[in-house]
Amino acid sequence: QVQLVESGGGLVQAGGSLRLSCAASGRTLSFYAMGWFRQAPGKEREIVATSGSSTYYAASVQGRFTISRDNAKNTVYLQMNSLKPDDTAVYYCAATGPKSLTERLSARSYDIWGQGTQVTVSS
């Protein structure tokens, strides 16, 4: 079983950038489809990006966020540029086995979750 640990969150001004990391231990991430989700206070957890057989970005982050993997480091990243106050949330990485893109858009499809990292964007 793989364990996930996120890092890289923090406080940033609007227009700034952050890079979130999701480090895995226990098994190589190359076996898994990965997703980044976020949850703002009072809102449901929503998909941000997913990487597997295909890559998907939520419309709200398209062109600003990039998901990537470094297999040598067994780490998945979320590069976030041009941040907006609406991006403020707890960000989670998650792993699952082979799934269709439609399945990977749902948090219910993911078996393994990190603890989350807070991202706060000030205006």
- CA terminus-to-terminus distance, the chain: 40
Give tens-digit pLDDT for 36-65. Answer: 999 999 999 999 999 998 999 999 999 999
Query: Which pLDDT belongs to residue 40?
Result: 97
Q: How many Å is the Cα radius of gyration of the chain?
A: 13
pLDDT at 84 over 90: yes
Query: Which pLDDT belongs to residue 30?
Result: 83
CA-closest candidate to residue 119, choices 32, 48, 24:
48
Give tens-digit pLDDT for 64-74. Answer: 999 999 989 99
pLDDT at 28 over 90: no
